[in-house]
């Protein structure tokens, strides 16, 4: 009898971090696209949101968080924060040359994918909107200025607060109306969501502004899988949980994959 050939089974480990819970919008897509991986999510909620903070502060936090994730043994780290990507990803790649980083940037190339007439605005945090990386990206992908940019001062903070206190929904809805008021009457057909917090409330944004929202999160998840999985690779099933770290309550805990989006699950 021939001996059964033993197959090598791979367990992938992926680190993910954000200023808070915004990166859960990326994790949601990762769990759909690459469910076999084990995930380590770092929420820097003690310092959220990053939008109003300096690049130096954000980069310092990004380095501290990355080292905590590296200690968990991942093969790839997702910088699941537009602001941290803009401020820090180049420095992270230089400092950790053996680590693969995938960042999140506003989905400006959506301009080339829409086949129907469109009027677009990209919604960012203040820090992302002012960053040189974002400006270069916009100049490269939108040289004629087809896409308007509007920075939302409070939305990331509002989403954080709503996540941890779902009873604030009525207050959140009122504040969201005020936050988006300057965009009313502009006749935008599409809003590109340039902060990972924003897809968590995309249905509310679409309803208030009567437009379609576009998010890079599914494409980020697909890129992570492409970089991680080799052809004909046999993947081991993952746990039904993922690891979660909160900087406001330091220490790794486990969260159920089916029950982590709180008020944003619907």
| Residues 100, 112 within the same domain | no
- For the cut 80, the answer to whether the pLDDT of residue 216 exceeds it is yes
- For the cut 60, the answer to whether the pLDDT of residue 147 exceeds it is yes
Distance between CA 42 and CA 5 in Å, rounded?
39
Residue at which a domain ends, from 197, 214, 231:
214
Residue at which a domain ends, from 214, 237, 253:
214
- For the segment 4-59, what is each residue's pLDDT rounded down to a tens digit? 444 566 789 999 999 999 999 999 999 999 999 999 999 999 999 998 899 999 99
| Residues 128, 210 within the same domain | yes
Could you tell me the residue range of the domain that residue 116 belongs to? 108-214
For the chain, what is the HEC assignment? CCCCCCCCEECCEEEEEECCCCCHHHHHHHHHHCCCCEEEEEECHHHCCCCCCCHHHHHHHHHHHHHHHHCCCCCEEEECCHHHHHHHHHHHHHHCCCCEEEECCCCHHHHHCCCCCCCEEEEECHHHHHCHHHHHHHHHHCCCCCCEEEECCCHHHHHHHHHHCHHHHHHHHHHHHHHHHHHCCCCCCEEEECCCCHHHHHHHHHHHHCCEEECCHHHHHHHHHHHHCCCCCEECCCCCEEEEEECCEEEEEEEECCCCCHHHCC
Mean pLDDT of 73-102: 97
Query: What is each CA distance from 32 to 86, 96, 138, 217, 219, in whole angstroms?
Result: 26, 28, 29, 11, 12
The confidence score (pLDDT) of residue 1 equals 39
Residue 193 resides in a domain: yes
Region of 251 please: left (phi>0), alpha (psi -120 to 50) or beta.
left
| Residues 36, 55 within the same domain | yes
| Residues 72, 167 within the same domain | no
- For the cut 70, the answer to whether the pLDDT of residue 86 exceeds it is yes
| Residues 99, 113 within the same domain | no
| Residues 21, 57 within the same domain | yes
| Residues 99, 223 within the same domain | yes
Residue 159 resides in a domain: yes
Q: How many CA atoms lie within 13 A of 195 on its CB side?
A: 31
Residue 95 resides in a domain: yes
The confidence score (pLDDT) of residue 115 equals 64
| Residues 174, 238 within the same domain | no
Residue 4 resides in a domain: no
Residue 234 resides in a domain: yes
CATH assignment of the domain containing 222: 3.40.50.1860
pLDDT band at residue 2 under the 50/70/90 scheme = very low
pTM beyond 0.85: the answer is yes
- For the cut 70, the answer to whether the pLDDT of residue 242 exceeds it is yes
Does residue 217 have an active-site annotation?
no
Residue 1 resides in a domain: no
Q: Which of 16, 81, 155, 180 is catalytic?
A: 81
Q: Which of 195, 209, 220, 224 is catalytic?
A: 195
| Residues 115, 210 within the same domain | yes
Enter the tokens of residue 42. 């770092």
Instruction: Pick the more confident residue, 27 or 230.
Output: 27
- The average confidence (pLDDT) of the chain is 93
| Residues 194, 123 within the same domain | yes
| Residues 221, 142 within the same domain | no
| Residues 112, 205 within the same domain | yes
The confidence score (pLDDT) of residue 239 equals 82
Mean pLDDT of 215-232: 94
Residue 19 resides in a domain: yes
- For the segment 106-140, what is each residue's pLDDT rounded down to a tens digit? 989 887 777 677 899 999 999 899 999 999 999 99
- For the cut 80, the answer to whether the pLDDT of residue 251 exceeds it is yes
Q: What are phi and psi of 56, to 5 degrees?
A: -65, -45
Number of domains in the chain: 2
- The percentage of the chain sitting over the pLDDT mark of 70, rounded to a whole number, equals 96
Residue 3 resides in a domain: no
Mean pLDDT of 72-92: 96
């Amino acid at each position: 009898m021939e001996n059964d050939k033993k197959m090598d089974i791979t367990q992938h480990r992926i680190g993910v971090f954000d200023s808070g819970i915004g990166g859960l919008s990326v994790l949601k897509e990762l769990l759909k696209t690459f469910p076999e991986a084990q995930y380590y999510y770092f929420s820097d909620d003690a310092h959220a949101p990053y939008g109003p903070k300096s690049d130096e502060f954000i980069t310092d936090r990004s380095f501290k968080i990355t080292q905590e994730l590296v200690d968990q043994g991942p093969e790839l780290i997702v910088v699941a924060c537009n602001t941290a990507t803009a401020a820090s990803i180049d420095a992270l790649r230089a400092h950790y040359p053996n680590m693969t980083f995938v960042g999140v940037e506003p989905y400006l190339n959506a301009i080339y994918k829409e086949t129907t007439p469109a009027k677009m605005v990209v919604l960012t945090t203040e820090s992302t909107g002012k960053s040189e990386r974002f400006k270069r990206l916009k100049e490269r992908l939108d040289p004629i200025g087809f896409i308007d940019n509007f920075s939302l001062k409070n939305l990331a903070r509002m989403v954080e607060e709503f996540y941890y206190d779902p009873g604030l929904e009525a207050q959140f809805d009122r504040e969201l109306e005020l936050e988006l008021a300057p965009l009313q009457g502009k006749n935008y057909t599409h809003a590109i969501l340039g902060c990972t917090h924003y897809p968590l409330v995309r249905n509310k944004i679409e309803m208030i502004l009567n437009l379609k929202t576009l998010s890079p999160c599914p494409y980020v998840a697909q890129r992570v899988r492409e970089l991680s999985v080799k052809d004909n690779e046999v993947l081991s099933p993952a746990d039904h949980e993922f690891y979660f770290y909160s900087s406001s309550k330091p220490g790794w805990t486990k969260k159920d994959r089916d029950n982590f989006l709180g008020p944003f699950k619907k």
